[in-house]
Homo-oligomer: A and B are copies of this chain.
């Protein structure tokens, strides 16, 4: 139910120039924070923090939560944002799927829904379905979409600086569509748009495995293959919005036709869609990427071979980036990364074999690091939320 008392909005409180605002932003960045966390993050004294918490609790901005410890310890008292301070939505417009998530400003999920669709749905379908889902989900919180702080869209296609969907993505029919204004008109709240992989990188560098990293190349190996290039703390979109389209590095110019219209792109070797199609052909029945990965981990030899081969090709893609950008770190994410060493070991070996910058020939301290994403399945939709946090709430 909608709260009876009108609470202040997050943005009215989160002024980094005030001690209370500083504490509120620190809680939003951590998700949940103990008093000790706030002392560390704000540099204020224990007694100042204690006073601020009393103030924030009194205004209803912050709630106390008893969080169970791992093991046998006593539960600890942590402080979280009151969800009523502002609700944000993230939407993934993916290949044959739409994911919607509602969060508070501390990225605590309030509601979520996953809709499977026919590949090739139109922008109008996307707006209609998203509006219906958002209306239903916000209603459970006593809100309407119009009252959202904002909506972030993670789109499985290159997006221009101006927010236009470009060719080469999963939606050939969406080419040239300005997707943001379509959604904003239907929802009546601010809408921010970026490429799905860029959203994933944004999430990982703001709150995930790559937090604090200013230079890395992300490869996302999922149903499709995507990526992002981060240099000097900025996601590089390139001159036309095609920056980080690493699934379309050419592995073999005479290879299989890719959905982008070229041949032998990395994605034709590593795309989860290709792998599960081949697995389905030998199994005689369809299966999802997560089922495929789970069966491989359980020992299915055919699935393992497909994953190993994909890892080898993935390493060639990484090697191209090694010999050109020579990044200090690769962030590997997506559903295939969840296969763990089945995928990662052949990928790393192949990287070493094909790049000029061979880790095995470098001193230990200088070797390229490999990190895996913290949320390979949901980094994109969480990243869409971060778009809103950054643009509308000064967090992230």
Contacts and interface: CB of A to CB of B under 8 A. Distances in A.
A239 B366 contact: yes
Interface in A243-257: 243-246, 248-250, 252-253
A327 B239 contact: yes
Interface string A220-249: 000000010101100011111111111011
Given A239-B368, A316-B250, A168 B324 contact: no
A260 interface: yes
A208 interface: no
Contacts of A239: 215, 326-328, 357, 366, 368
Interface in A323-356: 323-328, 353-356
Nearest to A258: B356
B158 A248 contact: no
Interface string A366-393: 1010000000000000000000000000
Instruction: Pick the most buried of A262, A357, A366: most chain B CB atoms within 10 A of its CB.
Output: A357
A361 interface: yes
One complex includes copies of this chain to the number of 2
B245 A323 contact: yes
B240 A357 contact: yes
A245 B316 contact: no
A319 interface: yes
A314 interface: no
Given A238-B357, A242-B356, A356-B158, A324 B320 contact: yes
A121 interface: no
A262 B352 CA distance: 10
Contacts of A232: 232
Sort chain A's interface into a size bin. 35 or more
Given A239-B215, A239-B368, A250-B316, A324 B357 contact: no
Contacts of A237: 326
Instruction: Pick the most buried of A238, A244, A328, A356: most chain B CB atoms within 10 A of its CB.
Output: A356
Given A215-B239, A326-B239, A253 B354 contact: yes
Contact of A325 (B158, B229, B326): B229
Contact of A236 (B238, B244, B325, B356): B325
Contacts of A355: 242, 248, 262
B246 A323 contact: yes
A126 to B, nearest CB: 22
A57 to B, nearest CB: 45
Instruction: Pick the most buried of A158, A236, A323, A357: most chain B CB atoms within 10 A of its CB.
Output: A323
B242 A323 contact: yes
Contacts of A326: 237-243, 245
Instruction: Pick the most buried of A243, A245, A249, A260: most chain B CB atoms within 10 A of its CB.
Output: A249
Contact of A253 (B250, B316, B321, B324): B316
A215 B158 CA distance: 20
Given A239-B368, A248-B323, A250-B316, 17 more contacts: A168-B356, A227-B324, A236-B325, A239-B328, A239-B357, A245-B323, A245-B326, A246-B323, A248-B356, A249-B324, A250-B323, A262-B354, A262-B356, A265-B356, A320-B324, A324-B324, A325-B325
Pairs A-B, 5 closest by C-beta atoms? A238-B326, A239-B328, A242-B357, A242-B326, A248-B356
